[in-house]
Amino acid sequence: MAEVVEGVVAGAPDLGEEKEAVPEEAVEEGADVDRGDSGEEPQPDGKEPDGAESSVYRYIKDDLFTSEIFKVEIQHLPKFTGFNDLKKFLAKHGVNPHKIKLFGRQTFAFVTFKSLEERDKAMKAVHGMLWKGNVLSVRLAKPKADPIQKKRKQQEEAGAGQPASKRSAASEGLEEDEEPLSKQLADVVTPLWNVPYEEQLRRKEQEVEGVLQRLAKEIGNNNKAMLPWLFVQKEKYNRMCCPLEAIRPSPLQTEYRNKCEFLVGRGAKGEDKTVGFRLGKYKGGSCAVVEPSDTVHVPVHTKRVVKAFQEYIRTTPYTVYCPETYEGHWKQLTVRTSRAGEIMAMVYFNPQKLQDPELEKLKSSLGQYFFEGAGKESKVTSLYFVREGQRKSPNLEDLPSEHVAGEKWIHEEMLGLKFQISPHSFFQVNTPAAEVLYSAVGEWAQLGQDSTVLDVCCGTGTIGMSLAKSVKKVIGIELCQEAVEDAKVNARINGLSNIEFRCGKAEDIFPSVLNSIVSRNVTAIVDPPRAGLHSKVILAIRRAEHLKRLVYVACNAKAAMNNFTDLCRAPSNRVKGAPFRPVRAMAVDLFPQTMHCELLILFERVDYSSSADPPKPAEPSKPEPSAD
pLDDT digits (tens, 9 = 90+) for 194-206: 999 999 999 999 9
CA distances from 213 to 207, 586, 588 (A): 10, 14, 18
Q: For residue 615, name the pLDDT band (cuts at 50, 70, 90).
A: very low
Q: For residue 459, name the pLDDT band (cuts at 50, 70, 90).
A: confident
CA end-to-end distance (rounded Å), the chain = 34
Q: Give SS3 for 499.
A: strand
Predicted local distance difference test score (pLDDT) of residue 35 = 33
Predicted local distance difference test score (pLDDT) of residue 441 = 95
Partners of 116 in the β-ladder = none
DSSP 342: -
Residue 162 has pLDDT above 80, yes or no: no
Q: How far apart are CA 360 and CA 33, in angstroms?
A: 29
Q: For residue 41, name the pLDDT band (cuts at 50, 70, 90).
A: very low
- Of residues 72 and 509, more confidence is placed in 72
Q: How far apart are CA 13 and CA 17, in angstroms?
A: 8
Q: Tell me the three-class secondary structure of 47-82, residue by residue.
A: CCCCHHHHHHHHHHHCCCCCHHHCEEEEECCCCCCC
Report the range of poorest mean pLDDT among 14-28, 300-314, 473-487.
14-28
Q: How far apart are CA 527 and CA 467, in angstroms?
A: 14
Cβ–Cβ < 8 Å for 362, 368: no
Q: Is 442 left (phi over 0), alpha (psi -120 to 50) or beta?
A: alpha
Predicted local distance difference test score (pLDDT) of residue 55 = 53
Strands (E), 398-531: 401-406, 410-414, 417-421, 452-456, 473-478, 499-503, 522-526
Sheet with 330-337: list strands edge to edge: 289-290, 274-278, 259-265, 330-337, 343-349, 382-387, 401-406
Q: Is 336 left (phi over 0), alpha (psi -120 to 50) or beta?
A: beta
Average of pLDDT values for 350-365?
Answer: 95
Partners of 554 in the β-ladder = 599
Selection from 198, 196, 233, 199 nearest residue 217 by Cα: 233
Q: Tell me the three-class secondary structure of 533-548, residue by residue.
A: CCHHHHHHHHHCCCEE
Q: How far apart are CA 458 and CA 481, in angstroms?
A: 12
Residues 6+ apart with CB under 8 A from 339: 412, 413, 431
Q: How far apart are CA 471 and CA 465, in angstroms?
A: 10
Q: How far apart are CA 212 and CA 574, in angstroms?
A: 26
Predicted local distance difference test score (pLDDT) of residue 301 = 97
7 φ, ψ to 5°?
-145, 145
Predicted local distance difference test score (pLDDT) of residue 26 = 30
**CA Rg, the chain, in Å?**
26
Predicted local distance difference test score (pLDDT) of residue 480 = 86
- Of residues 593 and 628, more confidence is placed in 593
Cβ–Cβ contacts within 10 Å for residue 372, how many? 10
Task: Report DSSP letters for 606-625, one per residue.
Answer: ---TT-SSPPPP---SS---
Predicted local distance difference test score (pLDDT) of residue 173 = 46
Q: For residue 529, name the pLDDT band (cuts at 50, 70, 90).
A: confident
DSSP 9: -
DSSP 628: -
Residue 476 has pLDDT above 70, yes or no: yes
Q: For residue 64, name the pLDDT band (cuts at 50, 70, 90).
A: low
Strands (E), 239-349: 244-248, 259-265, 274-278, 289-290, 330-337, 343-349
CA distances from 76 to 18, 510, 623 (A): 21, 41, 22
Strands (E), 168-302: 244-248, 259-265, 274-278, 289-290
Return the C-alpha torsion angle 524, 525, 530, 531, nearest 10: 0
Q: What is the percentage of the chain residues whose pLDDT exceeds 70? A: 78
CA 500 from centre of chain: 26
Cβ–Cβ < 8 Å for 559, 533: no
Pairing outcome for strands 547-554 and 598-605: antiparallel
Q: Find the farthest-apart pair of alpha carbons in the chain and give their distance in angstroms, rounded.
A: 84
Selection from 42, 4, 286 nearest residue 149 by Cα: 286
Q: For residue 514, name the pLDDT band (cuts at 50, 70, 90).
A: confident
Tens digits of residue pLDDT in 359-400? 999 999 999 999 999 999 999 999 999 998 755 444 555 678
- Of residues 97 and 623, more confidence is placed in 97
- C-alpha count within 13 angstroms, C-beta hemisphere, residue 141: 27
Its pTM stands at 0.75
- Of residues 43 and 605, more confidence is placed in 605
Q: What is the percentage of the chain residues whose pLDDT exceeds 90? A: 56
Q: How far apart are CA 545 and CA 281, in angstroms?
A: 46
Dihedral over Cα of 89, 94, 95, 97: its sign: positive
Cβ–Cβ < 8 Å for 70, 142: no
Residues 6+ apart with CB under 8 A from 98: 8, 9, 32, 67, 70, 112, 113, 114
Q: For residue 610, name the pLDDT band (cuts at 50, 70, 90).
A: low
Please give the mean pLDDT across all residues of the chain.
82
The catalytic residues are: 555, 598
Report the range of poorest mean pLDDT among 149-158, 290-299, 521-530.
149-158
Tens digits of residue pLDDT in 244-260? 999 999 999 999 999 99
Q: How far apart are CA 538 and CA 532, in angstroms?
A: 10
Tell the burial category of 276 from Cβ atoms under 10 Å away from its Cβ (0-12, 13-18, 19+). buried
Selection from 344, 313, 346 nearest residue 328 by Cα: 313
Total length of the chain: 628
- C-alpha count within 13 angstroms, C-beta hemisphere, residue 570: 20
- Of residues 520 and 268, more confidence is placed in 268
Cβ–Cβ contacts within 10 Å for residue 175, how many? 9
